[in-house]
Chain A
């Protein structure tokens, strides 16, 4: 566990040294929000939801794509000799999860600020964003690990992660629509179970496959 924390700490320090990364993504979110605000003026609840997820999708892809792509081959070799692949993946995963949740919170608050709250209960939408964040960050961590082997950079990352994320996104959008009408537990419960099951599949498959991927 100490190794995982050390790795997360290293990620954090790396991020802190290049200050532009955090600011760039924050400005990215705010700028898209503002453009939507200019073009729509007022948002229909369904458009509200789709816009929320589209912005979240693109900003998280941008945020998480850096996690593996920025590593040089030399540093990967060093980590390979120091820690087990599962620990390395865990550190990346937790760090990406933190980013995803932070971006979710910022986007949600931005939307509420610009367009008003459409959800009767704040708890459900937070829960959906939380559970969704687990799956999305797991997916993006693995996609970024795969994309880092190629020369395509963030572009390749987007191509690889879109089709893989669609099942989760469909469920999340459906759940969010349910949250609009106050979220009847009867219908939402099975969707939550499905979402958690997909999260679990993605996490398990990532841990199984990552050891093969990272040693060259």
Chain B
């Protein structure tokens, strides 16, 4: 009974794992915003930092705060200024004071009217927290140069002490959607691929069982595509401001895919004879796939995209600083693909039973006559 069920058990376990982890793992520490974000050099800089999921009060004597300015040239070193005073407010907000009126420890060039610094915070519980391009320092006439490199900190730990998902600005808690949205498309591609394979098998063997498999794979694949569209739409609403953006190759690719396979379903519905339906839909499946596949090669380099990894955007791997997302992402992909295959399997079995029952009824009504 359980002999052939190992992959179903795997699917359930992985699904439970990925959903629980995806919903309940805590988001890592991060800096939400910093104010003011534009300051001038001739004063003490006072910055109010609001952070998320941090522990500033935990062993607060070990907490370090500093600004980093990257060099403009290769032969220069990067420059760090440390906070000389902090006012503890709460676990997630803090007031920092940086001294720049004694002179920044490097020269502004004549052409540079401002420099941009990253804020780095290290606490005992949270490790390193970075807000890139946190503060802009404007040059004023009264600036001095040649201060000393004030701080080289020994930090206790660079990583947070608890298992977390990486905090990304502008994504915040929605970063966990990557564990639900992306696997849907992976599963859809897998199911459409299977359907293509069975369409080819059908044309070669003319076995009706392959036709039923092929059509069912597409039906279940479309369910996954719909789920991918819905999860994607809500994510897009949060991060990009709209449910659907135009001119994004991935969105358009998804739209074309859906149109194509909905057209496939319409085509199947419009043919009454079973063999003609099987033959025609198999031909359309192969023909459409062959003519849409080039899109995957030509389209991505035609326009820019808002998705990670396209058009100059950083790839997904850059979002996953501590590799924790990956530990849930790959199992989630496998789980959803297996669930797709399983659903198809069940649907095909239901269809077969349906046919059997219909044949039996037809038989009996013949006998009764």
Q: Is A94 an interface residue (CB 8 A)?
A: no
Stretch at the interface among A126-134, A144-152, A178-186: A144-152
A142 interface contact, C-beta 8 A = yes
- Closest A-chain residue to B257, C-beta based? A163
Please indicate the chain A residues that have their CB under 8 angstroms from the CB of B287 in the complex: 142, 146, 164, 205-206, 209
At the interface with chain A, which of B19-27, B150-158, B170-178, B295-303? B295-303
Give the interface segment out of B82-90, B237-245, B260-268: B260-268
**B111 proximal to A (CB < 8 A):** no
- Chain A nearest CB, measured from B270 CB (Å): 3
Contacts of B146 in A (CB 8 A): none
B256 to A166, Cβ gap below 8 A?
yes
Cβ distance A168 to chain B, nearest Cβ, rounded Å: 8
- Contact call A166/B270, Cβ cutoff below 8 A: no
A-side interface mostly: helix
* Distance A176 CA – B263 CA, assembled complex (angstroms): 29
* Chain B positions 252-304 with a Cβ under 8 Å from a chain A Cβ: 256-257, 259-260, 263, 266-267, 270-273, 275-276, 279-280, 282-284, 286-288, 290-292, 294-295, 298-299, 302
Q: State whether the Cβ of A194 lies closer than 8 Å to any Cβ in chain B.
A: yes
Docked CA distance A201–B289 (Å) = 11
| Residue A83 lies at the interface, judged by CB distance under 8 Å to chain B | no
User: Are the C-beta atoms of B298 and A160 separated by less than 8 Å?
Assistant: no
Q: B266 — nearest CB in chain A belongs to which residue?
A: A159
B123 to chain A, nearest CB (A): 51
Contacts of B291 in A (CB 8 A): 139, 164-165, 167-168, 198, 201-202, 205
Q: Does B339 contact A (CB under 8 A)?
A: no
Q: Check A197–B266 contact: CB distance below 8 A.
A: no
Residues of chain A within 8 A (CB-CB) of B273 are 216
Note all chain A residues with C-beta closer than 8 A to B259. 162-163
Residue B94, interface by CB 8 Å: no
Residue A20 at the chain B interface, CB threshold 8 Å? no
With both beta carbons as reference points, the residue of chain B lying nearest to A147 in the complex is identified as: B267
CB distance from B5 to the nearest CB of A (A): 37
Roughly how many angstroms separate A205 CA and B299 CA in the complex, as a whole number? Answer: 21
A149 CB contacts on chain B under 8 angstroms = 271, 276, 279-280
Instruction: State the CA gap A213–B275 with chains docked (Å).
Output: 11
What separation, in Å, do the CA atoms of A152 and B284 have in the docked complex?
A: 15
CA distance A132 to B256 in the complex (A): 20
Asked if B203 lies at the interface with its beta carbon under 8 angstroms from chain A, I say yes
- Chain B residues near A147: list those with CB within 8 A: 267
Nearest-CB distance from A86 to chain B (Å)? 15
Question: Residue of A at shortest CB range from B259?
Answer: A163
What is the interface of chain B mostly: helix, strand, loop, or mixed? helix
| Known contacts A151-B270, A156-B266, A164-B288; A146 and B283 CB within 8 A of each other | yes
Residues B271 and A160 in contact, CB atoms below 8 Å apart: no
CB distance from B207 to the nearest CB of A (A): 14
State A160–B288 Cα separation when bound (angstroms).
9
Are B294 and A212 closer than 8 Å at their CB atoms? Answer: no
A165 contacts across to B, CB distance below 8 A: 291
Q: Is the CB of A163 within 8 A of B288?
A: yes
* Cross-interface CB contact of B298 among A194, A202, A205, A216, cutoff 8 Å: A194
Within 8 A of A (CB), among B189-214: 203
Query: Is A198 a contact of B292 with CB atoms below 8 Å?
Result: no
Check if A174 is an interface residue, CB within 8 A of chain B. yes
Contact of B283 with A152 in the complex, beta carbons under 8 Å: no
**Best-buried of A164, A171, A198 by chain B (most CB within 10 Å):** A164
How long is the Cα–Cα vector from A100 to B270 in the complex, in angstroms?
Answer: 27
Interface string of A116-136 (1 = CB under 8 A from B): 000000000000000000000
- Chain A positions within 8 Å of B272 at CB level: 151
Partner of A167, one of B267, B284, B298: B298
* Residues 310-326 (chain B) with a chain A CB within 8 angstroms: none
With contact pairs A194-B294, A194-B298, A212-B279 given, residues A164 and B260 touching in the complex (Cβ less than 8 Å): yes
Contact of B270 among A156, A194, A205 (CB under 8 A): A156
Q: Are A167 and B294 in contact (CB under 8 A)?
A: yes
6 A-B contact pairs sorted by A residue (CB < 8 Å): A142-B287, A168-B291, A198-B291, A205-B287, A205-B290, A216-B275
Closest CB pairs A-B (n = 4):
A150-B270, A163-B260, A149-B280, A163-B259
